[in-house]
Structure 1
Amino acid sequence: MTEPDWTAPDEASNLRDMDDANRMEYMIARIEAKLHDYTAYDFPMDQVRALNIFFDLAQEVRGRSMFYAICMAIPRLLLNIESSIYILEDEETFVLAGCSTGTCDLDSTRTWDHEFSNQPILSNDHLFIPIQSNPEYNDMLPFEPPHNILGMFEMFPCGSLTKHNRLFLEKFINRIGFQLHHRIIRAKNREHLNFIKSLVQDIGHNVIVPNMYFKLYFNRLKRQIEQLHLTTSDILARMNECGTQDCTTHGNRLARITTGIEAQYQEIYSHYETTSMFLETLLRRRHFEEGRYVLDKREVNLSQAVMVPLLERFRQRFEERGIEVDFSLGGAPDQVIRLVMDRGLISQVFDNLFSNALKYTETATLPDGRRGKFISYGWKIIKDYYAPGSPGIRMWVASTGDPLELKNSMEVFKPGFRADNVTHQSGSGRGLYFVRQVVELHNGQVGYSHTDNSNQFYLILPFEQE
C-alpha cells in the first residue's frame, strides 16, 4: 500500500517547534518532493482534474451523504467503477454509509476480515482500499481508530484494473480520508457546541438562580443574629441585677458566644459574596456564546472592591501559615483609585496571585533585618505609558522566597508551566495563564521580576476612568 500523504505525528510535533525560517525551508523541500512524486505518478489530465474537482466540490457541499456521493461519483465517471463506503463506527464494526448504485444489496455491517484489513485487497473482482485517518488528529475522534483507519472504500469491477489506475484510486482515497477525518471532527465539535449551549442554560437555571437564594437565607440569618444581640443585652442587664459572680460569668460567656456567631457569619458571608461573584463571572453566558472571555467593564474602587475583600478572604489562611502582610517589599499607596475594568475577572486575577503567595511564600530576611514570611501588594500610576495622555497602572503582589528558576521570565505564564524549584507544592500550572489571558483582554500585560529576597508578579492595565 502507498504511504499516506500527510505528516506523521512525531514529525508534525517537530514542525511546530521550528522557527519561521526552518519551517519555510522544510515546506519548500516538501513541495519539491510532491512535485517530483506527481511527476512520477504521471496521472493523465482527466485524473489530475478529477482530484481538483473533488477538492472543490468537497468544500461546496454540506452533509455527510452529499460528500459520500462526490467520493463515489469520481470512480464511476473516470473508470466506470461502482463503489460503496463503509465507516468504522467503533473499533470492530464497519457500517455501510452509501452505495453508488443507489440500491445496496450489501451487508449493512462488516467486521475486520480478509477483505476489510489495513491493506488494499483485490477479492472476487472487488477492490477494498482502507480510508486512512490523519494520525495527528486521532485524539479528536470519538475513539482511537485501529491501524489509523476510518473506513473502507469498496469498488467493482476491478479485476482488469491497471496498476496505474489502482495507484490513482489509492491516492484519491487518501484524500477522501483527510476530508472525512475533518468532517467527523467538525460534526463532533458541533455536538460539543450544542452541548455547551444547553449546559449554559442549565447552569443559569440550576446553579446561578439557586445560588441567589442564599442571599435571602443570609439576610434572614442576619436578622436572627440581630435579635440574638438584643436578647443577649437584655439577659446581661438582668444578670447584672443578680449581683453574683456566677451570673456575671454566664452573662459574659453568652456575650462572647453571640459575638463569635456574628464574626463567623460575617466571614462566611464574605466568602459567599466573593465565590458568587467568581461563579457568575466565570459562568457568564456570553463567554460560552462567543467562545472566549467577554469583559463586563465598569468603574470600581480598586482597594475597596477588589483588594480588601480578597485579603479578608485569605487573612486566616495567611495567619495559619505564618505569613504577614507587610509593605516593606513595596506597598499600596493611600490614595483612592477608581478604575474601569471587569471587577469579577480582575478579582480572580488577584485571587490567583494571593493563592500562589499562600503556597510559595518562604522565610527570608527583609532589608531592615526582620526575618519571616511576608507578602505585600500595591499599585502605581505610570504617566504616558501607552501614549501621551494615556497612562497605565502597574499593580503587583510580592512575596518572600527564592527566585523562580526560569530561562525566560514569561515562561511562568504559559499554560501548564511550573518552575523546577516549586514542584513540591501542588498546582496545575493554569493559574498564571488565566492571569495573562484576563490581563491581555484588558489590553494590558503581565510580568515577573525578583530581588534577592522576594518574587513579584505584576500586571499593567490602561488607567481608564469614566
Structure 2
Amino acid sequence: MSKDTLQDIRQRVREKKEAYQRYNFERLQEEAFATFFDLAQEYTSLENLYLLCVAVPKEFFDLESRLYVYNRKSGRLERVSTSTDGLITNPEERLRFSLPVPAEIQESEDAVLFPIRGNRALTQWLPFSSRGDLLGLFEVFPKEKVDDKGRFFLEKLANRIGYNLHQKLLIQQNLEHIKFINQLVADIEHNVISPNLYYRLFIRRLEKSLDNYKEIQERMRDLILFTQTQDEDLCRELCEIYHMLSTENETLEEESRALTKHYEHTSLFLETLLRRDHFEKGTYVLRKQPCNFKTEIIEPLLERYRPVFEKRGIVVDNRLEEIPDEEVILFVDKGLISQVFDNLFSNAVKYARAVEDSRGQKVKLISYNRKILKNHFGDGIHGVRFNIFTTGEPLDPEEARRLFEEGYRASNVGQERGTGHGLHFVKNVVEIHGGQVGCEPKKFGNEFYFILPLKEETPLEDLS
C-alpha cells in the first residue's frame, strides 16, 4: 500500500513538473508565487491571509484587488480585504457591493473576476453550506493591465489562494470546535458529574432510614413479647404488622442495593468517559490502579447482565478458567476496562444464537476465561488473555479481522441495532493499555479476546 501511494505521488510530482514547464511563468511571476507560498505559511491567521492575497498583486504587478469570501456562519459573500483599504472590519461595509459570483473567470466593467475554489477532497468539511468547492471571489483591476499571460498567472494564484484559504478555514473551525468542547466539558463537570455525587448522599439517607425502620421493627418485636401473655388479640395484630413491616423492609433493602449498584456503575462510566483529561489531550488518558478483575469488574457486570442473559435464554459458563480469579491483579484504568467488558457482554446479548452441540442438544451460551501467555509482549513480559465466547454462526475470517474497524458491522447483525463503534472503542482502550484485540471464529461460535500485559512485579510462578 505504501509503495503504491509513493508511486502515485511521484506521478503527481512529474505531472506538476511538466505543468510548470508549460506554464512558462516569467521570473517576476515565479517570485510572486514563491512569496505567496512562503508568507501563507508564515502568517497563521485568516485575517493576515486576506491581506496577503491583495498585497502580492499590488507589490509585484501594481494591480489593485479585492478579496471576497463566504462567511462561515451566514453563508453570505463578504468583501473581506482590498489593496487600498486593507482589512474590512465593518460588517455593513463588508456587504456593500453588487457583484456576480461566476463559476468561471469573468470580466466586469473595469475588473477581472477569478472564482476561488477550495480542495475538492475536503469540500464536505467546508464550514458553511456547500456551493460545490467555491469559497469566494478575487477581483483584480484595472483589467487593461491584465493581459492573457497575466490572466493565466492570476488564475493559478487564485487557485493557491483557495487551497490556503480552505486550510485556514478548517483550522479555525477546528479551534472553535476545541474551544466549544472544552466549554462543554466544564458544563458537564458542573451540571452532570457534580450533581450526580448528590445521589450518594440520597442513598446514604435511604440506608439510614432503613436502619431506623429496623430499630422500629425490633421495638415492635419487644412489644410483641411483652403483650403475648397480656392480650392475645393485640399480640396477634402486632405480629401481622411486624411481618408486614419485615417484608417491606426486605423489599426496600433489595431496592436500595440495586440502586447503589446502578449508581456506582453509572458514576464510574460517567466519570471515566467524561474525564476532562480526555478532551484536553484529544485521546483517552489512563488513570491506572491495581484492579482485581473478578471482584471489581466481572462480577458486578455479570450481576447487572444476568437478568438480560436469562431473558434471552443465554447460559453463562465460566468453568474454563485456567488461573484463579483472585490471582489476576493488573494495573489498568478500571473505568475504561469495565466498559471494554460491558461492550463485549452487550454484544453477547445481541448476537448470541442457539447452536446444536456435538450431542445434538441446543445450546445458547456465553463463556469467559483467561489464560497466561508467557513472554507474549517480549522476553519476561507476560500477558493475560481474556476470552469471551458466544455461540452462533462462525464469522468469515475476513469479517472477524475487520470487526474492530470504526463503523464496520458484520453480516450476522440481522435486525440488531448498532453503529459499529463499540468494538472500535474496545480496540482503542486495550491498545492504549499496551494490549491487543481480536476475534477468532470457532466451531460453534466466535471468540472475542483481548490481551493485557501483566504488571512487572508479578512473578509468573505466582500464577501457576
TM-score normalised to structure 1 length: 0.89
- The yes-or-no answer on 1:209 pairing with 2:194 is yes
Match of 2:126 among 106, 120, 141: 141
Deviations 1:221-265 (A, max 9, x none): 011122223334544665684578887666544433321221121
Give the 3 Å change call, closer, same or farther, for CA 322–333 of structure 1 in structure 2.
Answer: farther
Give the 3 Å change call, closer, same or farther, for CA 37–338 of structure 1 in structure 2.
Answer: same
| Greater CA drift, 126-135 or 349-358 | 126-135
Match of 1:75 among 33, 57, 80: 57
Aligned to 2:136: 151
The CA distance in 2 between the partners of 1:47 and 1:32, in whole Å, is 21
Match of 1:407, SS?
helix
Give the 3 Å change call, closer, same or farther, for CA 103–392 of structure 1 in structure 2.
Answer: closer
1:160: Cα distance to partner?
4.3
Aligned to 1:284: 275
**Identity in percent:** 37
Match of 2:387, SS?
strand
Letter paired with 1:260:
T
Trace 1:47-62 onto structure 2 (pairs within 5 A): 47-62=29-44
1:147: Cα distance to partner?
3.9
Contact 2:107 2:113 in 1 (8 A): yes
- The yes-or-no answer on 1:354 pairing with 2:354 is no
Deviations 1:30-87 (A, max 9, x none): 2222222111111112211221221111111132222122211221123211011111
Contact 2:397 2:440 in 1 (8 A): no
Match of 1:98 among 43, 68, 81: 81
Trace 1:45-444 onto structure 2 (pairs within 5 A): 45-89=27-71, 93-102=76-85, 108-109=94-95, 115-235=100-220, 241=228, 242=232, 251-327=242-318, 330-331=320-321, 333-336=323-326, 337-366=328-357, 370-444=361-435
The CA distance in 2 between the partners of 1:239 and 1:455, in whole Å, is 61
Letter paired with 1:281:
T
The CA distance in 1 between the partners of 2:324 and 2:444, in whole Å, is 25
Contact 1:357 1:375 in 2 (8 A): yes
1:438: Cα distance to partner?
0.2
The CA distance in 2 between the partners of 1:294 and 1:93, in whole Å, is 41
Match of 1:386, SS?
coil
Match of 2:434, SS?
coil
Aligned to 1:447: 438
The CA distance in 1 between the partners of 2:262 and 2:149, in whole Å, is 73
TM-score normalised to structure 2 length: 0.89
- The yes-or-no answer on 1:456 pairing with 2:442 is no
Letter paired with 1:334:
P
The CA distance in 2 between the partners of 1:146 and 1:284, in whole Å, is 39
The CA distance in 2 between the partners of 1:331 and 1:103, in whole Å, is 74
Give the 3 Å change call, closer, same or farther, for CA 187–444 of structure 1 in structure 2.
Answer: same
| Greater CA drift, 452-461 or 137-146 | 137-146
- The yes-or-no answer on 1:33 pairing with 2:15 is yes
Give the 3 Å change call, closer, same or farther, for CA 112–258 of structure 1 in structure 2.
Answer: farther
Q: CA RMSD in A?
A: 2.4
Deviations 1:415-466 (A, max 9, x none): 1111111132111111000000000000100011132213211100101166
Contact 2:397 2:441 in 1 (8 A): no
Match of 2:173, SS?
helix
| Greater CA drift, 410-419 or 201-210 | 201-210
The CA distance in 2 between the partners of 1:393 and 1:111, in whole Å, is 69
Match of 2:144, SS?
coil
Deviations 1:303-323 (A, max 9, x none): 111111111111221222222
The unaligned stretches of length 5 or more in structure 1 are 1-18
Contact 2:75 2:128 in 1 (8 A): no
Aligned to 1:4: none
Contact 2:321 2:371 in 1 (8 A): no
Letter paired with 1:165:
G
1:92: Cα distance to partner?
6.2
The CA distance in 1 between the partners of 2:74 and 2:62, in whole Å, is 32
Deviations 1:138-193 (A, max 9, x none): 22222233242111111111124211110000001100000001111111111111
Letter paired with 2:203:
F
